[in-house]
Chains A and B, each alone.
Chain A
Amino acid sequence: GQNIDQPTEMTATEGAIVQINCTYQTSGFNGLFWYQQHAGEAPTFLSYNVLDGLEEKGRFSSFLSRSKGYSYLLLKELQMKDSASYLCAVRPPVGNMLTFGGGTRLMVKP
């Protein structure tokens, strides 16, 4: 089975840095995705990690430790438009199915 945990809500200040954690316990692993979802809208792809380490993409970075079943999404220089839910999803060894965590709702305050 799959179990993916993320904090439900986080609050941060505009211009600051925030780290959103995701832990997973899965029967097999073939990559971890982060998606951003604004309220009422479709999730959009942010990042993908399959090997241990940090992947940087502009203001967003994502880290993976497979031995610890742990990932985080790091958002720098926060902007008001970053207020959204951030979804962690794990892919199994075979197929394209994604199992999602419950999502972390990030509120960015002025």
Chain B
Amino acid sequence: EAQVTQNPRYLITVTGKKLTVTCSQNMNHEYMSWYRQDPGLGLRQIYYSMNVEVTDKGDVPEGYKVSRKEKRNFPLILESPSPNQTSLYFCASSLTGQGIEAFFGQGTRLTVV
């Protein structure tokens, strides 16, 4: 089954404790991205990757890191999480090209206390 898989689905952590949210897709998509979703603000892009070893900042990259060592994986790293990073996070992937829709993972609800 074609899918984007995120782990974990839920995470509660403390301020300053490094964490990684994994994202994996099995559709051989070149393009992957991370979004955060907050009430009233909609989905905002954190980082994206056009292909292996190619990453770039989205609209809200501060406090996050990503890597794209393999085509299928695009982990999101919070080196020193803070409470303002409490949010619902989505990973998405797509082929490149006109009109190609993005497929989203099931989301990771992160709480930083």
Q: Which residues of A contact B (CB under 8 A)?
A: 30-31, 33, 40-45, 48, 50, 87, 89, 95-103
Once A42-B107, A96-B48 are accepted as A-B contacts, the answer to whether A50 and B40 lie under 8 Å apart by CB is: no
Once A96-B96, A97-B33 are accepted as A-B contacts, the answer to whether A41 and B106 lie under 8 Å apart by CB is: yes
Structural contact, B42 and A101, CB atoms closer than 8 A: yes
Q: Shortest distance in angstroms between B65's beta carbon and chain A's nearest beta carbon?
A: 18
Once A40-B107, A42-B106, A97-B58 are accepted as A-B contacts, the answer to whether A48 and B42 lie under 8 Å apart by CB is: no
Q: Determine the distance from Cα of A38 to Cα of B95 in the docked complex, in whole angstroms.
A: 24
Q: Determine the distance from Cα of A101 to Cα of B42 in the docked complex, in whole angstroms.
A: 6
* Most chain B CB neighbours (cut-off 10 Å) among A41, A89, A95, A98: A98
22 contacts between A and B (CB under 8 A): A31-B98, A40-B88, A42-B104, A43-B90, A44-B104, A45-B101, A45-B102, A45-B103, A48-B99, A48-B101, A50-B98, A50-B99, A87-B42, A89-B43, A95-B50, A96-B33, A98-B102, A99-B59, A100-B42, A100-B43, A100-B44, A102-B41
Q: Which residues of B contact A (CB under 8 A)?
A: 31, 33, 35, 40-45, 48, 50, 58-59, 88, 90, 94, 96, 98-107
Q: Determine the distance from Cα of A95 to Cα of B42 in the docked complex, in whole angstroms.
A: 20
- Find the A residue at minimum CB distance from B102: A98
Q: Determine the distance from Cα of A33 to Cα of B103 in the docked complex, in whole angstroms.
A: 12
